[in-house]
Amino acid sequence: MLTEQPYLKRALSGVLALEPYSPGMPIEELQRRLGVANAIKLASNENPLGPSPLVRAALAEHAASGNVALYPDGGGFRLKKKIAEFHNIEPERITLGNGSNDIIEFLARVFLGPGRKALFSSYCFAVYPLAALAQNAESVVVPALPADDPVMPYGHDLNEFEKALADDISVVLLANPNNPTGTWLLPDQLEKFIARVPPSTLVVLDEAYIEYLGASQKPDSRAWLDRYPNLVITRTFSKAYGLAGLRAGYSLSHPSVADLLNRVRQPFNLNMLALLAAEHALGDQAHVRRAVELNTHEMARLRAELKMLGLTVLPSQANFITIGFGREAAPIHKGLLERGVIVRPMASYQMPQFLRVSIGTETENSRFLEALKEVLAA
């Protein structure tokens, strides 16, 4: 057996203990597995509008040039300049990542390891515990708010986070809004918590879904960077910007943190198409607003329909909703797959009675509702 090979004793124990991250099922896999044609995917929180027209035009022009024989700019000068202008921040405070996942990996490599701990909530993004375990660091899991909380069921409990703070906590990881629940934190509560974290502990604020937050819930986290040098903000172009297939993200931080992250960052972690697309995507905020408007309208429609079916729908300020069925959701997931609708099962997040569904186009969402009603009736 593979586990009996003697060289495996040299592997880090944390890596040996890892269960690989399981992404949303691709449409092609469903077609291979069940022979289902014309499937739709509502499993990975992608933007149903796709990338901006400006991005499409820039990529088409670049493809016509055929200029892919040269390495991309390893420092990402043009993209970092755009990000710096967008956030009114110095370029030396920016780190580019192959998606924001890449930034989480950098942070774990630099700040975690044996004898160090990462602090995050239950029902958090799956990459947090994976990144910590891969570095042989310990994970401290904070209980989420209870399922019957009247305001934010399954949301982050900042009081419990504060109780868990200790000298050996190296990194605190908070997603706002949170994946997979869609729950969020109010700006004043969040800043009060950050202010109470010891300066020797890094606070990572994962804002992958920040564009979908309503105006009154959206924090001015960029301003917080000037008050809290131990704060790191991560962003991605995979969601509202519609570039999930190209993988581009970044972080904003104190220059000393960015310097360390850039020491472990591979020089060509963003290919030239990702750099080009992200640069043009950032320049088309009208497209982002269209995506958010579609998401807001369709989420309201889905929530109303699902509640009419007697289902539990968690509060969400992201581009997905998490649905509770009050029973094992695996058979419902299977029934949806058989009808060509791919959604995300939540058993790996310790939420086996839930499914997470991305907000698609009006047509896609209607097809999901029709399929779900058939499955529930069966």
pLDDT of 218-260, one tens digit each?
Answer: 999 999 999 999 999 999 999 999 999 999 999 999 999 999 9
For 20, the 3-state DSSP assignment is coil
Angle, CA 106 vertex, CA 100 and CA 109 arms, to 5°:
145
Categorize the per-residue pLDDT at 1 as very low, low, confident or very high, splitting at 50, 70 and 90: very low
Which stretches within the chain are classed as H helix?
A: 13-16, 27-34, 53-65, 77-87, 100-111, 127-134, 158-164, 187-196, 221-225, 255-264, 272-282, 285-308, 330-338, 362-377
pLDDT of 245-299, one tens digit each?
Answer: 999 999 999 999 999 999 999 989 999 999 999 999 999 999 999 999 999 999 9
> Of 299, 291, 302, which is closest to residue 317 (Cα–Cα)?
299
pLDDT of 80-95, one tens digit each?
Answer: 999 999 999 999 999 9
> Of 147, 145, 163, which is closest to residue 155 (Cα–Cα)?
145
238/278 Cα distance (integer angstroms): 10
Name residues whose C-beta falls within 8 Å of residue 195's C-beta, 6 or more positions apart in sequence.
227, 228
Q: Are strands 341-342 and 312-313 parallel, antiparallel or unpaired?
A: unpaired
Q: In what order do the strands lie in the sheet with 354-358?
A: 312-313, 320-324, 354-358, 344-345
Structure tokens at 152: 């934010």
The CA–CA distances, whole Å, from 167 to 163, 201, 297 equal 12, 8, 45
pLDDT at 19 over 80: no
Q: Which residue has the tokens 């509008």?
A: 49
The whole-number average pLDDT for the span 191-202 is 97
Structure tokens at 43: 């499993």
128/107 Cα distance (integer angstroms): 10
In order of start, what are the domains of the chain with their CATH numbers?
A: 2-51+286-377 (3.90.1150.10), 53-284 (3.40.640.10)
pLDDT of 173-185, one tens digit each?
Answer: 999 999 999 999 9
348/122 Cα distance (integer angstroms): 12
Q: Which pLDDT belongs to residue 3?
A: 56
Amino acid 154 reads: Y
Structure tokens at 88: 């009114």
CB 288 within 8 A of CB 324: no
Phi-psi region of 369 (alpha: psi -120 to 50; beta: other; left: phi over 0): alpha
Q: Which pLDDT belongs to residue 27?
A: 80
Q: Tell me the percentage of the chain whose pLDDT exceeds 70.
A: 99
pTM of the model: 0.93
Amino acid 374 reads: E
87/91 Cα distance (integer angstroms): 10
At residue 34, what are phi and psi to the nearest 5 degrees?
-115, 0
Q: Which residue has the tokens 């995506």?
A: 291
Angle, CA 141 vertex, CA 166 and CA 322 arms, to 5°:
140
CB 43 within 8 A of CB 344: yes
pLDDT of 128-173, one tens digit each?
Answer: 999 999 999 999 999 999 999 999 999 999 999 999 999 999 999 9
> Of 234, 238, 282, which is closest to residue 257 (Cα–Cα)?
234
Q: In what order do the strands lie in the sheet with 202-206?
A: 94-97, 249-252, 231-236, 202-206, 169-175, 117-121, 138-142
CB 298 within 8 A of CB 359: yes
